[in-house]
Structure 1
């Protein structure tokens, strides 16, 4: 859950995340404001890579993408 919290913060916080879903080894994310994304913090949180195109961000986290996405959903639901 700690990695999930760090990823949420690096994506600009819960209010910046529109949608997040796992896709094999990635977290596919839509954010409101891409300028709030901290790619260095995403890497520090364990991301192997970050690809952004507009407000769509893919965070490569490896095979634990499903677990991290579930943890992030729990965090967003409680925010």
Structure 2
């Protein structure tokens, strides 16, 4: 069973599509290589309350567990 972080990574187009990720209170702030790979339905199925796209910057609104999820994603990027 994939973790919430793994589901979010998949919804963002895979780990190779993520350049940067940062937790910010209730959001994951990401910088993506190709924002067209974002699957909003998959992100919402993973628990996201919303997705905000601004060019290659994509914010995923997920609630108070944003920081631990960002840390999990950073671990996957290493």
The normalised TM-score by structure 2 is 0.94
Q: Give the structure 1 partner of residue 73 of structure 2.
A: 72
Distance 1:42 1:75 in 2: 17
Alignment: residue pair count: 77
Residue 2, structure 1, aligned to residue 3, structure 2:
yes
Residue 41, structure 1, aligned to residue 26, structure 2:
no
The normalised TM-score by structure 1 is 0.93
Instruction: Return the offset for 1:75.
Output: 1.4
Q: Where in structure 1 do 4 or more consecutive aligned residues deviate above 4 Å?
A: none
Q: Please give the root-mean-square deviation of Cα atoms over the aligned residues, in Å.
A: 1.0
Distance 2:7 2:14 in 1: 9
Residue 59, structure 1, aligned to residue 60, structure 2:
yes
SS of 1:68 mapped into structure 2: helix
Unaligned runs of 5+ in 2: none
